[in-house]
Structure 1
Amino acid sequence: MSSIDDPQTIGDIVRHQGRTLANDIAFEFAGDEMSFAELDRRSNRAANALASLGVGKGDRIAYLGKNSHLYFEILSGAAKLGAVMTPVNWRLARPEVAYVLNDSQAKVLFVGPGFAELVSDIEGSLEHVARVFGAEGEEGPFPSYPEWRDTFSEDDPMVPCVVEDDAIQLYTSGTTGHPKGAILTHGSIFSSRMNEVDDSELKDWQRKIEGEVALLAMPCFHISGTGFGLGTMFNGTRAVVLPEYDPTQALDLIENYNISKMFMVPAAIQILLNHPRIGEVDFSNLKYISYGASPIPLELMKQAMDVLGCGFVQMYGMTETSGTIVALDPEDHVPEGSPKMRSVGKPLRDVEIKIIDDDGEEVPAGTIGEIATRSPKNMKGYWNRPEATEETIDADGWLRTGDAGYLDEDGYLYIQDRVKDMIISGGENVYPAEVENALYAHPKVADVAVIGIPSDKWGEEVKACIVIKEGEELSEAEVIAHAREHIAGYKCPKSVDFIDALPRNPSGKILRKDLRAPYWEGKEKAVN
């Protein structure tokens, strides 16, 4: 049972740190510092403000904006009511944003700077949002959240919450064209930090460093951003928040704030290493960089180790597992390379991993199959999608990841391919069905298949293979422009192949492997 003295929910963690680390800085954003005591008090005001609008336990609220310390304040306020935060991907197209807001049934929406026009355009189609506030101040027609918040009491609402309660709802791309809301509980988010974990059981990179300062640069609409920020709150460490990843700002902060830990996707690491100032910055205080969301080329890893000189931790997980479930320790990262560096590491404490065949039966070490996992970190399920939940999590609690891989004799996990055809481009998940649905809407497209091909910059990039309707003409530029009107830019194809017919099996299923094969020839594995 969570309590202020034994915090296991977001609300109790904020209360506990507000008492024990009152004057320590929790978040810093654009020069504005927020102590743990201020986070506690402000989140009480936020909770009381939300309650005045009828927000209560189990209700959803939403945040559409770039990273901000106020996002975590609002999230904490909602958690103190037992309400659930839904951060919305600000890179999505207008129809996609409207879908997420309607599907989540969010009652209140907080809008970050620069997104008022988008919300105004879709406001008439929102079915549940009753009020909209500018998260950092007045935004167009939407009133200021901070001004509204400060009209309410600092008294803690003290709504009882338990670890099984919903806390965060993150949307993942849908294999059938619509995203699904993965429900993460307080327990799933913090399970690896609770359950009477003794400090001696933690690895060096998991322990709090004296004077630790973390850089939060990944987007909070991903588990890598929200999970990272909640982790710093739990550990009582200072987090410097970037609105979005910018290599110049990141380098300045690493040097000027003595950043000791950060999480990055491989594409962001590559951009950082290519920055003209990279050789001028002092990285001596940087202790660990954790990375994940997509594989990293060995040569890039060697370059990063040489230039940055810190420990690297590869992390494998997904939204549905509340983030990391497998990690490759710094000790396994060796400059000369090793077979283990091709793996994503070993399961974390209390995490079970097994490899299964098409019938769900476990296969021996070294045999490729689908990766399944069982742990307290698994999501509760998909919001209002019982069938999709049952397809993903079986009766024994095993979650099918959709990734293909194998375990070696030492328990290291190796990723080989993706069962679900998902493309990971620059750390962003792209499902072919979403892109195909958008492209099918073009009047000149007869048939289409979308695949991921290797990209030196992004790991993978989206390619569309299109059959044009008879008698019509269509250019690559027209296809890409059409896509940009309907879906987020990172989901749009970077290139287009026009072909006579798509390869299909006897049942009519597109043979994506046949389309991908020429581009992945000579690659050791089918993900880059």
Structure 2
Amino acid sequence: MNIALLLEMAAEAAPDRVGLVCDGKRWTYGDLLAAARGAFSIIQDSGAEYVALLDESSEAAVIAVFGAALAGVPYCPLNYRLPDADLAALLGRIAPALVIGDEERVTRIADGQGHTIFSREEFTLKAQETVPADDAREYDPGEGIAIQLFTSGTTAAPKAAILRHSNLLGYILGTVEFASAGEADAALVVVPPYHIAGISALLSSIYAQRKIVMLPAFSPEGWLALVEAEAITNAFVVPTMLARIVDAMESGTAARTASLRAIAYGGGKMPLEVIHKALERFPAAGFTNAYGLTETSSTVALLGPDDHREALASDDPKVRARLTSLGKPIPTVEIEIRGENGEVLPLGEPGEIYVRGEQVSGEYKEKSALDAQGWFPTRDAGYMDEDGYLFLSGRADDVIVRGGENMSPGEIEDVLLTHPAVADACACAIPSVEWGEAVGVAVVTRDGFDAPEETELKDLVRLRLRSSRVPEKIAFVAELPYNEMGKLLRRKVKEVLAG
């Protein structure tokens, strides 16, 4: 099957229902399908081997992803925040492509690569005007690659992660009920189009027949204004976005948010203080922590609304700790925790998270990362407790190895964050002559507090954990580096600590 089936079903069931709102313009599901079919014809005529998007979220992204699917060409949204040299290299790897978005930049950095280039406006208009000749063209049945996303490439050249139609449909059909949204339901999408969260939000909302409202450039004021103007019922945010939204509300930004029934978050670690404040600010909304990866077609574990409220109301430390968990695996996937030699570890013991299921691709253009039994190593470190809740400790590569002892940065950070003067903290490995690696931390002081004494923080860690976890070096910084999806950039913190 083809992911375009999701849009076809929605358009057949409710052609006149509004499916998309962007920059004030409204598109019905019938409009979107007609434009996607026009895009299919444009893509076929171009001879392109990929459809690339170099732009913010817009109607062009929706039309392009489904047009590419109908044409049997991989859709490859690119990170427009990358430097020119990096972006030119990625464009070279997908040449010849039909590229939508920043015409001037693509022409300047990738001239001679053989691309067909459209601005957002030109592509959208031409897709609307083009009517394919049904008797002369056939849509792709959807047995190949639907989406290709380049990884961040923090330590090496970016890998091309591949998601096939079967992977994406395995996720959507297994987790979303068709036409389950009411006519008033509206989802606010603010994550970038080159992130799997944005793609999965698009596909799941269309299959549910929920109105999608796009906010191309995030600001807390713009987000709150759209919630009110479009009576938003569902939203997905990353932790840094939610923190800024809560701060704006506490600073007096007017907001009518009574329509919000569901707020999902993911993409990075959610500070306890932020989720506590958010639960208070949005008392009628159900919060969901969604954990997933590009290679798993998005979500594989969920901490649902009932878990959030139960944990918040409980006096039991074990139950309250669930607010820091990823929740439980969704029914369509399996999750195991494995040790260094690939052995399955018992409950409560930390190791690497492995996942398996129809939605799990684990495939790159360069190679497949699946083992013989179909398990994908996420490179995330974590453990599962006796009640089946999954806890994340960080990336497996981030583990600090001090004198042969493995330490999770997350457990050290959680302790530091209990100090009233600490607003944010990051622990990572620093070189040590004696131990090979030692613990270094960067700390952000909370507004209105003086920076705590280093001995205070060291004693706190020693008291709550053990002496081997005590930081050898502490740096006080104005803020920690996060990317636009709220992921902490530990490599940059290491640079600060090295300095």
For the residues of structure 2 that align with 1:54 and 1:457, how far apart are their CA atoms? 56
1:514 counterpart letter in structure 2: A
Equivalent residue runs for 1:86-165 within 5 Å:
86-111=76-101, 115-124=102-111, 127=113, 129-136=114-121, 144-150=122-128, 152-155=130-133, 157-162=137-142, 164-165=143-144
Shift, 1:339, TM fit: 2.2
2:265 counterpart letter in structure 1: Y
Contact residue 185 and residue 380 of structure 1 kept, 8 A: no
Contact residue 175 and residue 420 of structure 1 kept, 8 A: no
Contact residue 62 and residue 106 of structure 1 kept, 8 A: no
Shift, 1:193, TM fit: 3.1
Question: Are residue 241 (structure 1) and residue 226 (structure 2) matched?
Answer: no
* Aligned match for 1:252, one of 221, 225, 237: 225
**Kindly tell me: are residues 458 and 158 of structure 1, through their superposed partners in 2, closer, same or farther at Cα, counting changes over 3 Å?**
farther
Equivalent residue runs for 1:7-406 within 5 Å:
9-55=2-48, 59-111=49-101, 115-124=102-111, 127=113, 129-136=114-121, 144-150=122-128, 152-155=130-133, 157-162=137-142, 164-174=143-153, 176-194=155-173, 208-209=181-182, 211-275=184-248, 280-309=254-283, 310-334=285-309, 335-336=312-313, 338-379=320-361, 381-383=363-365, 385-386=366-367, 389=368, 392-406=369-383
For the residues of structure 1 that align with 2:195 and 2:362, how far apart are their CA atoms? 17
- Kindly provide the CA deviation profile for residues 175-227 of structure 1, in whole angstroms up to 9, marking residues without a partner as x: 542111111112212313325x796xx9xxx9635521000111111011121
SS in 2 for 1:13: helix
1:364 counterpart letter in structure 2: P
Shift, 1:504, TM fit: 7.2
TM-score, normalised to structure 1, is 0.73
For the residues of structure 2 that align with 1:198 and 1:99, how far apart are their CA atoms? 37
For the residues of structure 1 that align with 2:325 and 2:230, how far apart are their CA atoms? 33
- Kindly provide the CA deviation profile for residues 381-434 of structure 1, in whole angstroms up to 9, marking residues without a partner as x: 111x12xx3xx3211111001111111111110111311239xxxxxxxxxxxx
Where does structure 1 lack aligned partners over 5 or more consecutive residues?
Answer: 3-8, 137-143, 423-453, 466-501
For the residues of structure 2 that align with 1:48 and 1:116, how far apart are their CA atoms? 21
Contact residue 45 and residue 150 of structure 1 kept, 8 A: yes
1:274 counterpart letter in structure 2: D
Question: Are residue 409 (structure 1) and residue 397 (structure 2) matched?
Answer: no
For the residues of structure 1 that align with 2:216 and 2:71, how far apart are their CA atoms? 27
Where does structure 2 lack aligned partners over 5 or more consecutive residues?
Answer: 315-319, 400-415, 444-456, 470-486, 489-499
Shift, 1:37, TM fit: 0.5
- Kindly provide the CA deviation profile for residues 464-484 of structure 1, in whole angstroms up to 9, marking residues without a partner as x: 98xxxxxxxxxxxxxxxxxxx
For the residues of structure 2 that align with 1:312 and 1:407, how far apart are their CA atoms? 21
1:294 counterpart letter in structure 2: G
For the residues of structure 1 that align with 2:116 and 2:3, how far apart are their CA atoms? 24
1:255 counterpart letter in structure 2: E
1:35 counterpart letter in structure 2: T
For the residues of structure 1 that align with 2:164 and 2:214, how far apart are their CA atoms? 24
For the residues of structure 1 that align with 2:171 and 2:357, how far apart are their CA atoms? 10
For the residues of structure 2 that align with 1:369 and 1:462, how far apart are their CA atoms? 18
* 1:475 equivalent in structure 2: none
For the residues of structure 2 that align with 1:343 and 1:232, how far apart are their CA atoms? 26
For the residues of structure 2 that align with 1:505 and 1:61, how far apart are their CA atoms? 52
RMSD (Å), alpha carbons: 3.1
For the residues of structure 2 that align with 1:15 and 1:504, how far apart are their CA atoms? 62
**Kindly tell me: are residues 49 and 299 of structure 1, through their superposed partners in 2, closer, same or farther at Cα, counting changes over 3 Å?**
same
**Kindly tell me: are residues 105 and 461 of structure 1, through their superposed partners in 2, closer, same or farther at Cα, counting changes over 3 Å?**
farther
* 2:440 equivalent in structure 1: 516
2:303 counterpart letter in structure 1: L
**Kindly tell me: are residues 255 and 96 of structure 1, through their superposed partners in 2, closer, same or farther at Cα, counting changes over 3 Å?**
same
SS in 2 for 1:285: coil
SS in 1 for 2:248: coil
Equivalent residue runs for 1:481-520 within 5 Å:
502-503=431-432, 514=438, 516=440
For the residues of structure 1 that align with 2:42 and 2:117, how far apart are their CA atoms? 13
2:395 counterpart letter in structure 1: R
1:269 counterpart letter in structure 2: L
For the residues of structure 2 that align with 1:464 and 1:403, how far apart are their CA atoms? 17
Contact residue 427 and residue 442 of structure 2 kept, 8 A: no
**Kindly tell me: are residues 67 and 462 of structure 1, through their superposed partners in 2, closer, same or farther at Cα, counting changes over 3 Å?**
farther
* 1:434 equivalent in structure 2: none
| Count of matched residue positions in the alignment of Structure 1 and Structure 2 | 423
**Kindly tell me: are residues 147 and 263 of structure 1, through their superposed partners in 2, closer, same or farther at Cα, counting changes over 3 Å?**
closer
Shift, 1:123, TM fit: 2.1
TM-score, normalised to structure 2, is 0.77
1:29 counterpart letter in structure 2: C
Contact residue 362 and residue 370 of structure 2 kept, 8 A: no
1:50 counterpart letter in structure 2: I
**Kindly tell me: are residues 147 and 22 of structure 1, through their superposed partners in 2, closer, same or farther at Cα, counting changes over 3 Å?**
closer
Using CA pairs under 8 Å that are at least 6 residues apart, name the structure with larger relative contact order, 1 or 2.
Answer: 1
For the residues of structure 2 that align with 1:107 and 1:462, how far apart are their CA atoms? 42
